[in-house]
A and B are shown apart, each in its own frame.
Chain A
Amino acid sequence: MAGPPARAVRRGSARRWRGLGDLLVAFGVQATFHVRAVLAVPRVLVHYRRHVARQVAEISFGSASLFAGGGTIGVIFAMSFVASTQVGLEGYRGLDLIGLTPMSGLMSAMVNTRELAPLVAGVALAAKVGTGFTAQLGAMRISDEIDALESMAVRSLPFLVSTRMAAAFISVVPLYLVGLFASYLATRVAVVVVQGQSGGTYDFYFQLLLSPSDVALSLAKAVVFAMVVTLVHCFYGYYATGGPEGVGRAAGRALRASIVAITFTDMVLTLLFWGLSPSLPALGVR
């Protein structure tokens, strides 16, 4: 029953979506796909346990090519580290304007935890894990392997998509914590080693402002991003058409959709978690 819903999702020809009706159909197809994938996750955890475990290993470490970053853990570490170096340097510059450079630790505790680390982890997941999913599923669709699964009476959507989702859920927590650690480390190196600030003062403000609830909420953000990324990328891969080139193009489209989705989700979650005027309780302001 999970064959490609005929013309509705022929991604290659956007012209067919001209009408409002077609748009609605496309929306419905996407929504159904996402809902079914999410609902099947608990069942998948029971029935396809070994499959999920293999996916977890593949997401976290496995990759044939070291040049692509030595597994997702390496990619997340590298991207978080480099991005948070910028927080240290630019934040130092910004605080220097108002003569508050000793408070640089604040930048790390706030910006890294609340915004940057989850965003970077989301983008890294999309690039590494997400496009990988699109490529795998797309290649299976192109070579009729998904149809073969269906004809063997394996429901392909839970087997292929929900297992990947469960695996992403499981592996995102340690992966994200590594990324968060990398960003704290990078900002500290940038401020203390590069700019020559006092390490003790930095640590004081960092620890003063780093609240456990913020870390928990930022982890929640990362988990939501992992879900968004998996769903979007699996959708584009599952319904890929047009030969090898179509698989490649589907990966690009999926990346575009998931990056935009991540930034929008990030904005919504930030406003939801910290409100329109985020405060710094530890500083005693407000």
Chain B
Amino acid sequence: MALETPPARGPVADAAAQAGLLVVFAARTARAGVRAVLGRRLAWRECLEQCWFLAAVSALPAVLMTIPLGVLVAVNIGSLAGQLGAEGYAGAVVAFVVVGQAAPLVCALMISGVGGSAICADLGSRKLREETEAMEVMGLSTVERLVVPRVLAAVVVTVLLNGVVMAVGIGATLFVHVLLGGSSGGFLATLTAYADPGGFLVAEVKAGVFAVLAALVSAFKGLTARGGPSGLGDAVNEAVVMAFVLVFVANTVLTELHPLLLPPKGEF
């Protein structure tokens, strides 16, 4: 599998070439993934190790990041809703903000920032030590052995992490809401009225899509790294930036698709 980036020909041509290569890389990974699963030769051990690693590095920071966000949501939106005479709707707002936007995005930042840079650094250093070439020479597919398990692990961890983040986010918001003199019953009533399973499902789908994007971009940048420590550093930098921007764009697209695919129930 040759994944060499062509020689530089100006920024626009480079960007186009990279975008094209990334699409090819994604298609290859998807094909390798399907074949590995159907052929029962998925690298389970690698997959489990990656799951454990990603969960270990991203769980605590995700929770640490969610708590202040929950406090902010409660303080800002709760009190503003109160001033507009809509205290009772604080729970509904949390349903929109935490479940709909904040939780998947926190997971996305974690998986593309923390997990993605680790994936990129790992694969990139293997590439620089020519371990990946050695694998190819021995007839082992790097995509199948290294990339597919990482993408799968990222999806599993992010989807699970999303649940944790939602629980922590809602908990923190509820805690501060009550602390500031709000009613927990009203909060929970509007929360459960507006946070339907469809919204939860969309949040989980979002998290999964973000994980696929982040893992693919990081693996791609890692496997095309060159130029020693500074080259690998640049690769990690670019991987993180690309993953962040892609994730933000994907978030908008998925949020827009949500009402089309799952028509919201009740009066919105």
Contact = CB atoms under 8 A, between A and B. Distances in A.
Interface of A: 64-70, 75, 78-79, 82-83, 85-86, 89-90, 93-94, 96-98, 100, 103, 110-111, 114-115, 123-124, 126-128, 131-132, 134-136, 138-139, 142-143, 243-245, 247-249, 251-253, 255-256, 259-260, 263-264, 266-267, 270-271, 276-280, 283, 285-286
The 6 closest A-B pairs by CB, nearest first: A248-B121, A135-B233, A252-B117, A245-B125, A139-B230, A66-B11
B86 A135 contact: no
A256 B57 contact: yes
A68 B120 CA distance: 15
B184 interface: no
A128 B121 contact: no
B233 A279 contact: no
Contacts of A139: 228-230, 232-233
A110 B75 CA distance: 13
Interface of B: 8, 11-12, 14-15, 18-19, 57-58, 61, 64-65, 68-69, 71-72, 75-76, 79-86, 89, 92-93, 96-97, 100-101, 109-110, 113-118, 120-122, 124-125, 128, 180, 194, 228-238, 240-242, 244-245, 248-249, 251-252, 255-256, 267-268
A64 B89 CA distance: 48
A97 B236 contact: no
Contacts of B242: 67-69
Contacts of A114: 76
B71 A267 contact: yes
A111 B85 CA distance: 18
Given A115-B72, A285-B83, 9 more contacts: A70-B11, A90-B100, A97-B268, A248-B121, A251-B233, A252-B114, A259-B65, A271-B75, A276-B79
Contact of A266 (B64, B72, B122): B72
B12 A263 contact: no
Contacts of A271: 75
A249 B251 contact: no
A248 B120 contact: yes
Contacts of A83: 248
Nearest to A283: B83
A248 B231 CA distance: 10
Contact of A69 (B57, B61, B241): B241
A100 B83 CA distance: 13
B229 A143 contact: yes
Contact of B96 (A67, A94, A138, A248): A94
Nearest to B66: A263
A252 B100 CA distance: 26
B232 A255 contact: no
Contacts of B125: 243-245, 248
Contacts of B117: 131, 248-249, 251-252, 255
Contacts of B86: 97-98
B121 to A, nearest CB: 2
A282 B89 CA distance: 22
Contact of A245 (B69, B121, B251): B121
